[in-house]
Structure formats: C-alpha cells, structure tokens
C-alpha cells in the first residue's frame, strides 16, 4: 500500500483537531499549555502496516534521522520503507527547539579536550556544511517549515563566565567554526561569539515536507511499532503487530537502537531538556542565543520577530528527580530573572541521548551485517542527523566517507571517557537496586502502570509528575499511563497489573 502524501501544514497555531495527540498531559502546577507547538497541527494520517512486505531498506523511526536517511537512499534508487511507532516526527524531533547550527553551545571545548584537533576540525566542518544542506533540502522539497536564516550567538551568562569566555571562542576558532567576538545587546550585555547564517525551523513541518517529497519509491507507515528486528539468511525482518518488512538492509533511526549489538543501552545517557514558549513583555534582539553560565538559557524566536520566544536551559537525567514540575518552576524563575515577568504559553520536555566521549554513534552497528544506526546527538541532532544521513547512505552504497570513522559505533571508549561512562552506569546500578528496594508507593501513581517493571531490563518505573508519563530511570524508556511505549529502548508495552 502506498502512503498518503503528508501536507506540510504545521504551524504554531492550535487548529483544534489532533489526529494523534501529544503524549504529555496538562498537569496541575505547571504554567501554560502542555505540548510542543510543532505538533499542534492536523496532518494526514499515514497507513498502519498490514501484511508481509519487502523493500531494499527498512528504516525504523520517522524522526529527522529516518526522514533524511530515507531521502538520501530513495534518491539513489532504493525502495525504502519507513516504520514509525506513533506519528512521523512525534518523538524527540517534534519536541526539539530546532536551532540548526554548528555552534553546539560549549560542546566544542569539551570535544577538543577529548579528541585530536584534526578530527574535531573535520567534524565541525561537516556540521557547518549540514546547516546549508538542511536549508537546501527545505528549499528543494518546497517545505514550508518556518525556515529563517539568522545568526547564532554564544554569550557569557554572567561576569564570572565572561572572564574565561575567550577559551570558548578559542575552541570554536580552533575547530574551524568562523565566529567573531561581538558585544551583545540587552538583555544579554556580555561578551558573545557570533556565527552568521545559521537557521531555525519548525522540525515537524520539515520532516513532513521531506517525507512528502519522496514519491512512490518510499512507503511510509505510522502507528507501526517494530517489536523486533530479526537477522535472517537474506537480511533483516522487522516484525510489527500487523505485519512485517523484509529487507537486506536495516537502519535504526529509532533514537534508542532496538537491536542492540553494541551494549548501547549502557553507552547512551538519556537527558531530558525542559522548554517554555514565552511571550516576553519587551522585544528581544533577533537571533538564536546560547548562554554559558549565569542562567544558562537558550532562546530563539518561535517564528518571526515580535512574536513569542522559545526558552530552554534546564536538563536532568530521565527519572532522576522526585517532582519534575520543580524543573519547570526553576526554568520559569531563570527566565523571569533574565527577562522580567513573562507569560508562559506552553511547556514541554523530552530527552536526547548523550555519550561518554561527546560524539554520536553513526554508521554500521557492531557485528555489521548491513544493520545501521544513528543516535547520541546530545541535544544537537539538527545538524548531526544531516551528517548521519550522508554517512549511512555512503555506507549502504559502499562509498567511503571521511567522517565515518570519527563517529563509528564500533569505536572504543577513550581514556578520557571512562570516568563519565563509569559514573553514568553507577547511576543506573543505583537506580536498579534502590528501585527494587524502595516501596513502589514513592514511584507509583494509582491511575497508571508507574512502579511496575520496565519491559526493557526490569528497572522500576516512576511517575513523571510534570508530563503524566511513566519513566524508567535506568535507560530512559518512557510509557503512557496505560503502559504503551512512547520511547525505547523498551519495545514492548507494560501490561497493567490485574
């Protein structure tokens, strides 16, 4: 069955009908409407997989990674099938603040401390090029995704961070990111580094536009959870509730690799980022602002000038706090200290995975066999997904790619990354033990499956007080209150205790 075309009709206006509602719920004690502005529009519902199918490539996941991989491979004549558990772009991509920039906050300084400069130079150039490539993709596909070109700024958040701000500029220049030092206007008023010609988008509309441009060489399915990926004599068999897809090549664009041949569940650390859409009382200077120190806020306009803004800053490990509503309160307080009283229009959060050496895992999975993956973007997946699509498409075609080795999923952890790796996994071990020792009453919620075991590795799940979800503190799986999987690595739903 061919997929219906998806109109790129997303915008930030509530249209009243949601074919597939946001997973987060409005909870008392959190300001504003619940949910991402990018997911409020109607869009055509794609079919659910039914029966046995064949393809050249099966792609698990319809976020920005899945969409861009599908575009690259279908352009090279491969028949691709994209299988999405919920709606296209409804995962991390649809909750992104979608600043498409190679600036990546303070990451470059850390990367230079852990990796050779020539490799980080190559990685930086790939991310710079990705900004232009994403913009071109939006234009070529005619995608109406609110794309705006504007500068990105890294700015010192207070006097203390202003003192050693030069080190961040030096790191950026050293890896080849062409920033220039500028004085920032109010309300930032501290030294800043400006990177011109970066981009912001509505990420859900971007994905919808890319997918709708693929034509008949791609089959797209929604509400189609892949329950397992089985290796067979002739490739990969994706098992779904209503059918299956057989293909010689499989790509896990599923955020948490479901067929884990590399122990990735212990090498990916899920951190939730909290976001507010705000209406400031005074105009803010146009641009995408990333503070270092101080309130540590990032700010971008939602769309044009004079409208609302999107603010984020707080980040915590999934399931690591008793009351997630406090994180929103802290974020609102930070915004108020910085900008004065604001109206909070919306709030939302979700997680992205971090890695111990600061680089993503992109390429063929350990053990090979034409199984590919891309994850571990650490909050900067808008450019990394573009690079990932190019690496994976080249690998599928047997072409060399200069960046592939730097982010290979088979790379060994360097000495510098052993300490963070051990620390994150000690957290998991503690969660596993204490979760099983504590009474479930602290974790549970009477009207949900919270407190029951995660279907991934059996850790005790926790009620998320701000989103109304059931979260696993060990590896970041998240479920609806009824136990249905929202985010992996879990593939199966939690059955409610009788």
Residue 106 touching ligand FAD (CB under 6 A): no
Residue nearest to ligand FAD (CB): 381
Residue 137 touching ligand FAD (CB under 6 A): no
* Pair 99, 152: CB distance under 8 Å: yes
Q: How far are the Cα atoms of 158, 175, 418 from residue 225, in angstroms, in the given order?
A: 46, 40, 34
* Binding track, positions 77-96, relative to ligand FAD; x by CB under 6 A: ------xxxx---xxxx-xx
In sequence order, the 6+-apart residues with CB closer than 8 A to the CB of 359 are 111, 115, 123, 376, 406, 407, 411
Residue 385 touching ligand FAD (CB under 6 A): yes
Residue 294 touching ligand FAD (CB under 6 A): no
To 10 degrees, what angle do helices 117-140 and 107-114 make? Answer: 140
Please tell me the distance from the alpha carbon of residue 125 to that of residue 218, in angstroms, as a whole number: 30
Closest distance to ligand FAD from the beta carbon of 440 (Å): 27
Closest distance to ligand FAD from the beta carbon of 121 (Å): 20
Residue 12 touching ligand FAD (CB under 6 A): no
Closest distance to ligand FAD from the beta carbon of 378 (Å): 8
Residue 148 touching ligand FAD (CB under 6 A): no
Residue 468 touching ligand FAD (CB under 6 A): no
Using only C-alpha atoms, what is the Rg of the chain? 21
Which structure tokens are listed for 105?
């906050």
Residue 177 touching ligand FAD (CB under 6 A): no
Output the CA angle 62-64-65, nearest 5 degrees: 85
Contact stretch for ligand FAD (CB under 6 A) within 141-149, 337-345, 372-380, 394-402: 372-380
* Pair 111, 120: CB distance under 8 Å: yes
Judged by CB, which is closer to ligand FAD: 32, or 451? 32
Backbone angles phi, psi at 352, to 5 degrees: -130, 160
- Which residue from 34, 55, 208, 275 is in contact with ligand FAD, where contact means CB under 6 A? 275
Which structure tokens are listed for 6?
């998806």
Contact stretch for ligand FAD (CB under 6 A) within 40-48, 248-256, 459-467, 476-484: 248-256
Token pair 């504003």 in the structure block, residue: 32
Of residues 312-351, those binding ligand FAD (CB under 6 A): 312, 350-351
Closest distance to ligand FAD from the beta carbon of 177 (Å): 14
Closest distance to ligand FAD from the beta carbon of 72 (Å): 14
Please tell me the distance from the alpha carbon of residue 236 to that of residue 231, in angstroms, as a whole number: 5
Residues in the chain, how many? 498
Please tell me the distance from the alpha carbon of residue 174 to that of residue 364, in angstroms, as a whole number: 30
- Which DSSP category does 3 fall into? P
Residue 276 touching ligand FAD (CB under 6 A): no
Residue 477 touching ligand FAD (CB under 6 A): no
Q: How many CA atoms lie within 13 A of 76 on its CB side?
A: 17
Residue 124 touching ligand FAD (CB under 6 A): no
Residue 202 touching ligand FAD (CB under 6 A): no
Backbone angles phi, psi at 166, to 5 degrees: -55, -30
Please tell me the distance from the alpha carbon of residue 30 to that of residue 95, in angstroms, as a whole number: 17
Of residues 254-273, those binding ligand FAD (CB under 6 A): 254-255, 258, 273
- Which residue from 35, 62, 270, 358 is in contact with ligand FAD, where contact means CB under 6 A? 62
Q: Which residues sit at the interface with ligand FAD, rule CB under 6 A?
A: 60-66, 83-86, 90-93, 95-99, 225-226, 253-255, 258, 273, 275, 312, 350-352, 377, 379-383, 385, 488, 491
């Amino acid at each position: 069955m061919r997929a219906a075309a998806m109109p790129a009709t997303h915008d930030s206006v509530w249209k009243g009908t949601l074919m597939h509602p946001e997973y987060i719920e409005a909870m008392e004690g959190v300001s504003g409407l619940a949910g991402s502005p990018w997911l409020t529009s109607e869009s055509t519902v794609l079919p659910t997989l039914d029966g046995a199918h064949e393809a050249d490539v099966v792609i698990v996941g319809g976020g920005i990674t899945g969409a861009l991989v599908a575009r690259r491979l279908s352009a090279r004549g491969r028949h691709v099938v994209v299988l999405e558990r919920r709606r296209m772009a409804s995962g991390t991509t649809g909750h992104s603040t979608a600043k498409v920039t190679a600036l990546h906050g303070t990451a470059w300084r850390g990367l230079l401390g852990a990796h050779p400069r020539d490799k980080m130079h190559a990685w930086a150039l790939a991310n710079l090029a990705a900004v232009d490539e994403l913009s071109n993709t939006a234009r070529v596909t005619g995608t109406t995704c609110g794309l705006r070109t504007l500068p990105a700024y890294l700015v010192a958040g207070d006097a203390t961070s202003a003192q050693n701000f030069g080190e961040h500029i030096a790191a950026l220049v050293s890896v080849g990111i062409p920033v220039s030092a500028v004085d920032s206007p109010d309300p930032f008023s501290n030294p800043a580094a400006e990177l011109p010609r970066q981009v912001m988008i509505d990420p859900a509309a971007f994905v919808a536009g890319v997918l709708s441009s693929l034509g008949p060489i791609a089959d797209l399915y929604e509400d189609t959870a892949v329950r397992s990926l089985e290796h067979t004599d002739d490739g990969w068999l994706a098992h779904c509730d209503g059918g299956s897809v057989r293909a010689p090549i499989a790509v896990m664009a599923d955020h948490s690799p479901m067929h884990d041949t590399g122990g990735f569940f212990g090498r990916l650390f899920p951190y939730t980022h909290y976001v507010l859409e705000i209406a400031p009382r005074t105009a803010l200077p146009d641009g995408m602002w990333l503070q270092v120190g101080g309130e540590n806020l990032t700010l971008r306009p939602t769309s044009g000038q004079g409208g609302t803004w999107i603010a984020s800053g707080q980040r915590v490990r999934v399931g690591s706090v008793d009351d997630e509503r406090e994180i929103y309160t802290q974020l609102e307080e930070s915004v108020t200290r910085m900008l004065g009283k604001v109206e909070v229009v919306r709030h939302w959060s979700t997680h992205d995975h971090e890695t111990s050496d600061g680089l993503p895992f992109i390429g063929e999975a350990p053990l090979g066999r034409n199984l590919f993956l891309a994850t571990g973007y650490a909050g900067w997946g808008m450019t990394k997904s573009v690079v990932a699509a190019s690496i994976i498409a080249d690998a599928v075609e047997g072409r060399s790619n200069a960046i592939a080795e730097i982010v290979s999923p088979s790379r060994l952890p360097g000495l510098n990354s052993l300490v963070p790796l051990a620390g994150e996994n000690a957290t998991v071990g503690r969660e596993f033990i204490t979760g099983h020792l504590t009474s479930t009453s602290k974790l549970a919620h009477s009207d949900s499956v919270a407190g029951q075991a995660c279907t991934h590795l059996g850790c005790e799940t926790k009620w998320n007080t701000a989103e109304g979800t059931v979260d696993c503190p060990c590896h970041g799986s998240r479920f609806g209150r009824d136990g249905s999987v929202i985010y992996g690595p879990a593939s199966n739903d939690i059955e409610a205790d009788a």
